[in-house]
Amino acid sequence: MHRTAFCFLASVAALACCSGAASHRIRSEARAQKRLAPEIGRIAAGESGAPRRDGGGTTAGKVPFERSDTLFFCDRSRLDSVTGFRDYCRVFVDGNRSSANYDRLRRAASLDTESNRRDFEELAAALNARFPGRIRRFDLRGCPEVWQRLVSVAGEYYLDGLNRYPVRITDSLLVEQMQDGPWPSLLETFEEPEPGHYRFRVRTLHDETRRFDLYLADSPRPIALLVEHGDAAERYRLLAAGEASPHFDLPVWESAKMPSGNEIPYDAVDFEALMTGKQRK
């Protein structure tokens, strides 16, 4: 078993008997997620778009564009003449798998950091206290454990540089990493209706039932589509297997303010086609 998965399960079992002390730390789960691959048309220069920076002002440029052998999705800058505040946003592609940017992505995805490990142990203890004796073990039938988020820009898949937190599937838990920690949910069912298609149901810390389908794309790269079935609508997440998949480059965001996520032209992904293996390979 993968070492991280073993740590998950060992933590759950060890903390079942002493979980009451941690139950007071149950926190509200952050459910606000950046919308995946919104359909954005040509972006307006100087407002929400990706103009090319030129001196102290901005001018519209082709998106994406290259500068000094680096691919940019956004490079804008604007100086407020009244306050003197310079607002800027740069998004460029890092293809160096040993760079500091990739290292930060790996650290965000790792449960070996002190804060992530501590948060997971507390939340796992609270989960055991809420559902004592409910842990089950399932055969994952080759389903990868760690999944990193992907986006599609200008016809290519990239690791998601804004939402760097992974999804983990162990033989007993679904663990969704968020800004406030790794949140575990109990696996209640897990099956493989057909090769490359996994279906499972989980019970959350807040006693909610959530249902998922995971479709592996027909591609030499480890791309998958995670579909969560909600009451009102389905939620789609484009994923790649691995904590920092070597198959994909990483867009790096540098900005003066918190990005909203619509600064670059994400592609509108045909999720139905991706589920049936007809999306681009």
pTM of the model: 0.72
Residues 43 and 63: beta-carbon distance below 8 Å: yes
What are the b/e assignments for 194-217, b being 16+ CB within 10 Å?
A: eeeebbbbbbbbeeeebebbbbbb
Residue ranges of domains in the chain: 44-103+134-275
Residue 238 — very low, low, confident or very high, per pLDDT cuts 50/70/90? very high
- Any idea what DSSP says for residue 256? S
For 14-60, the pLDDT digits (tens) are: 433 334 333 333 333 333 333 323 322 222 233 333 332 222 233 33
What pLDDT is stored for residue 264 in this prediction? 87
- How wide is the angle at C-alpha 75 spanned by C-alphas 72 and 81, nearest 5°? 175
Q: Mean per-residue pLDDT for 72-88?
A: 90
CB atoms within 10 A of CB 175: 23
Identify any residues that bridge with 151 across adjacent strands, giving them in sequence order. Answer: 158
Residues 89 and 76: beta-carbon distance below 8 Å: yes
Mean pLDDT is highest, among 57-71, 164-178, 238-252, for 164-178
- Tokens in use for 145? 């454990």
Question: Higher confidence at residue 129 or residue 231?
Answer: 129
Identify any residues that bridge with 213 across adjacent strands, giving them in sequence order. Answer: 199, 227
How much is the mean pLDDT over the chain?
76
